[in-house]
Amino acid sequence: MNTPSFRKWQSVHTEVLRRIHAREWEPGDLIPNEADLALEFGCARTTVNRALRAVAESGLLDRRRKAGTRVAVQPVAKATLAIAVIRCEIEERGQQYGYRLISRGEAVPPLALSTAMKTQVDQTLLHVRALHLADDAPYAFEDRWINIVAAPEALDENFEDMSANEWLLKNAHYTHGEIVFSATSASKDEAEALQCAVQSPLFTVNRMTLNGSSAVTKVRLLYSPGHSIRTIL
């Protein structure tokens, strides 16, 4: 039987997953080494290595130096969430992106927020509120605070043409973050921005990104009613 050739690591990744899910490689099995798989798939060993690393990162393979790679006996499902540029997220849905700045100004944030960001209680932050649209309909309301000590260049941006979401991802370095998903009842201002009824349930994302121990930004994203999120396990 002729074995198809796999030139891209994504193709190898898909085939490895198929074999695991089909139980061709059962839990605990030692799978063929990288050199043998590269020969079978007709690709470079580095291509196989990249694919196996991706599968291992998902928890389905257990890779041990000098001991080989085995199918995980008790795989741990992991969901990976990336910080998305909202414009790209909307365009990938095949919709036209729109953006409107609602307000921008320097202010001392509420105590709970400065405590969460570990800034001085009287420290001024940059507060940006904006609306993202998909095909001219409200998509997400962005309520963001930016630590201008961690990202001083933000003071030079008016955020009228580019959202703070996109600007920060392009210009402000971060090392890690914290994210919380919840349901929120729309306030009067939020309902007006998202064109929904007051007290409507809204899918809400609260996210803080940090550079080392310093908070860069904290944002509250409220999505229009009916919004859902999808990830791959």
- What is the torsional sign of CA 111, 114, 116, 119? negative
Q: Where does the chain hold its CATH 1.10.10.10 domain(s)?
A: 9-71
**Residues 42-90: tens digit of each pLDDT:** 999 999 999 999 999 888 999 988 889 999 887 665 555 678 899 999 9
Amino acid 1: pLDDT = 41
Mean per-residue pLDDT of the chain = 91
Average pLDDT over residues 212-230: 92
Cα separations in angstroms, 45 against 33, 35, 72, 176, 209? 10, 6, 22, 31, 36
Q: What is the pLDDT of residue 21?
A: 87
pLDDT tens, position by position, 116-137 = 999 999 999 999 999 999 999 9
5: confidence class by pLDDT, cuts 50, 70, 90: low
The β-bridge partners of 11 are none
Write down the pLDDT at residue 80.
58
CATH entry, 86-223, from 3.30.1330.10, 3.40.50.12160, 3.60.9.10, 3.40.1410.10: 3.40.1410.10
- Write down the CATH number for the domain with range 9-71: 1.10.10.10
Q: Is the pTM of this model over 0.75?
A: no
Q: Identify the band that residue 175 occupies on the pLDDT scale cut at 50, 70 and 90.
A: confident
Q: Where in the chain is the domain with CATH 3.40.1410.10?
A: 86-223
Give the largest Cα separation in the chain, rounded: 72
Q: How far apart are CA 222 and CA 140, in angstroms?
A: 5
143/129 Cα distance (integer angstroms): 5
Distance of CA 188 to the CA centre of its chain: 29
Q: Strand pairing partners for 12?
A: none
Q: What's the pLDDT tens digit per position in 146-164?
A: 999 999 999 999 999 999 9
